[in-house]
Amino acid sequence: MDFLLGGLAACGACIFTNPLEVVKTRMQLQGELRSRGTYKVHYRNVFHAAHTIWKMDGLLALQKGLLPGLLYQFCMNGVRLGSYAMLDSAGYTRTGGRVSAGKSTVAGALAGVLGPLMASPIYMVKTHLQAQSTANIAVGHQYRHQGMMDALINIYRQHGVMGLWRGSTSAVPRVMVGSAVQLSTFSKTKQVTRDLQGLFYAGNLDCFTKTARKEGLSSLYKGTGASYFRLGPHTVLSLFFWDKLRTVYQEG
C-alpha cells in the first residue's frame, strides 16, 4: 500500500507541475550543441517560454507528455517513496527511536535507485513528446510520435530493448542524490515539528487556537511567501499528498 500511496501522491503533484516540465525541456533543447548567437532564441525565460508555447501551440500544449509523466511519477515515486516508507516503518532510519540523519540519508539514496531505473523508458518518451511543437518554435530533434505507445514502439523498432533505457545511467545518480537529501530532510523536519508541538502545544487545535489568539489571524500565514519561493512545488505537493494518503490509510 505504501507503494500505491507514494505513486498517487506524485501523480497529484505532476498534474500541477507538468507545464514546468514542458518549459524546462524546451529551454534545455534550445541551442543544443550550437554556439551562442548562432541560433534563434524562441524561449527567453520561463515566463516567456510558457507564453510562447501557449500562443503558438495552444494552452493544452503546456500539458504535453502528461500521460507518460503521470505514469513515470507513479512508477518512480511509488517505488521510491514506498521503499523509504517501508525502511522507515521497520526502524532502519532511526537510532533510539529518533530519526538519524545518516541512516535516513542512506535509506533515501537506496530508495532513489530502483524507481528511476524501472521508469526510465517512460521518462524518455515524456521528453520526446514534450519537445514536439510547431515548426516556428521547434527546438531539438522532432520525433513526431503520435502518443506514448507509438513512441515506445518506434524507439524499440529503431534501437531495440536497450534503447528504451538510454540515459538511465544519468537519471539514477540524479534521483539518488535528490532522494537522499529530500527524504532525510523531510523526516528530520517532521520530527522537529512534532517535538515543538509537544513542547508548546497540546495538539494541532491547541496550536491553531493559541497562535490566533496571541498573534492574530494573520500570523497563521507568516512566512507563506518565503516558503513557496524556497521550496520546489513538486517536492511540496508530492510529500504532502504522500503523507496525507498514508495517514488516511493507516487510520481507515
Whole-prediction pTM value?
A: 0.71
- Which residues have CB under 8 Å from 159's CB, separation 6+? 166
* The pLDDT value given to residue 159: 93
What are 95's strand-pairing partners?
Answer: 98
How is residue 173 written as a grid cell? 545518480
pLDDT of residue 226: 44
Among the listed residues 23, 32, 28, the one whose alpha carbon sits nearest the alpha carbon of residue 51: 23
Tell me the per-residue pLDDT of 88-105, one tens digit each, with 9 for 90 and over: 999 999 998 899 999 999
Per-residue pLDDT, 198: 65
Residue 73: which pLDDT band, with cuts at 50, 70 and 90?
confident
Of 191, 96, 219, whose CA–CA distance to 199 is shortest? 191
Which sequence spans correspond to the domains of the chain? Answer: 2-251
Residue 130 has a pLDDT of 93
CA nearest to 152, candidates 72, 77, 62? 72
Burial class (CB in 10 A: 0-12, 13-18, 19+), 214: exposed
Distances (CA, A) of 190 to 82, 127, 187, 193, 239: 18, 34, 5, 5, 11
Cell numbers 497529484 correspond to 12
Task: Please report the sign of the dihedral spanned by the C-alpha atoms of residue 12, residue 15, residue 17, residue 22.
Answer: positive
Identity of the amino acid at 161: V
Longest dimension (CA), the chain: 67
Q: What is the CA radius of gyration of the chain?
A: 21
On the question of pLDDT at 200 being above 70, the answer is no
Structure-block grid coordinates of residue 212: 490566533
Q: How confident is the model over 145-191, as pLDDT tens digits?
A: 999 999 999 999 999 999 999 888 888 888 898 899 889 988 888 88
Residue 129 is predicted with a pLDDT of 95
Question: Which architecture does CATH list for 2-251?
Answer: Alpha/alpha barrel (1.50)
